[in-house]
């Protein structure tokens, strides 16, 4: 059954990569990506419930992150796609992983914000793709593709709580 969870984890990894690419290219994260991440959670938790722990902790984490990111969205600090992506990934992280998730998200978000400031001031790219993050900040707009930070924060939190290493251990046991 660990194979189902491993496939679901691979699917969310690929989806977060797609979300990052989309965010950098257009500062938009399609709703489909958040739906895939949410939908992949169900077979994974059914296949390996011991790996996930208490289901309510995962729903609680999603709720906490949704409230925080929605307030940021309402204040104009974050986009709607970021709110949905962050909440969907919080479902995977669970309450025990929320603190590392938020810390890593904030740290990596700061790095991306610093890059935005640099691109805005120095304009290092001659002809960036129209509508992209780089093009928009070089035109003077304040923009940060926070999907990068959200994705990195989630993966760092999953690694921190041992979710990834546990799956790898189980796969190695199944192979041997």
Q: Is the pLDDT of residue 175 over 90?
A: no
- 7-to-10, 12, 13, 90, 152 alpha-carbon distances in Å: 5, 9, 10, 18, 19
Helix, strand, coil fractions of the chain, as percent rounded to 5: 80, 0, 20
In this prediction, residue 162 has a pLDDT band, given cuts at 50, 70 and 90, of confident
Rounded to whole angstroms, the Cα distance separating 126 from 8 reads: 40
> Residue range 48-60: average pLDDT?
94
Query: Which runs of consecutive H residues, i.e. helices, occur in 27-146?
Result: 31-47, 49-52, 55-74, 80-93, 98-122, 133-138
- 153-to-8, 98, 106, 146 alpha-carbon distances in Å: 18, 9, 8, 10
Asked whether 48 and 2 are in contact (CB, 8 A), the reply is yes
Asked whether 140 and 122 are in contact (CB, 8 A), the reply is no
Rounded to whole angstroms, the Cα distance separating 116 from 74 reads: 22
pLDDT tens sequence across 106-116: 999 999 999 99
In this prediction, residue 170 has a pLDDT band, given cuts at 50, 70 and 90, of confident
Asked whether 52 and 97 are in contact (CB, 8 A), the reply is no
In this prediction, residue 171 has a pLDDT band, given cuts at 50, 70 and 90, of confident
Above pLDDT 70, what percent of the chain? 100
Q: Is the pLDDT of residue 153 over 80?
A: yes
pLDDT tens sequence across 11-25: 999 999 999 999 999
What are the structure tokens assigned to 125, written together?
Answer: 């790219």
HSE (side-chain half, CA atoms, 13 Å) at 102? 12
Q: By C-alpha distance, which of 143, 160, 142, 146 is closest to 65?
A: 146
What's this model's pTM, rounded to 2 decimal places? 0.93
């Amino acid at each position: 059954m660990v194979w189902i969870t491993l496939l679901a984890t691979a699917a969310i990894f690929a989806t977060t990569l797609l979300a990052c690419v989309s965010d950098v290219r257009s500062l938009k994260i399609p709703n489909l990506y958040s739906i895939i991440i949410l939908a992949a959670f169900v077979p994974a938790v059914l296949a390996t419930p011991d790996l996930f722990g208490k289901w309510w902790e995962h729903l609680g984490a999603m709720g906490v992150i949704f409230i925080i990111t929605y307030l940021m969205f309402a204040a104009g600090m974050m986009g709607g796609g970021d709110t949905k992506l962050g909440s969907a990934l919080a479902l995977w992280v669970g309450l025990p992983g929320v603190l590392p998730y938020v810390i890593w998200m904030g740290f990596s978000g700061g790095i991306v914000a610093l890059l935005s400031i640099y691109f805005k001031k120095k304009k290092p790219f001659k002809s960036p793709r129209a509508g992209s993050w780089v093009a928009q900040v070089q035109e003077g707009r304040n923009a940060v593709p926070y999907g990068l930070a959200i994705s990195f924060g989630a993966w760092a939190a999953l690694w921190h709580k041992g979710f990834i290493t546990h799956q790898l251990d189980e796969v190695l046991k199944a192979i041997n």
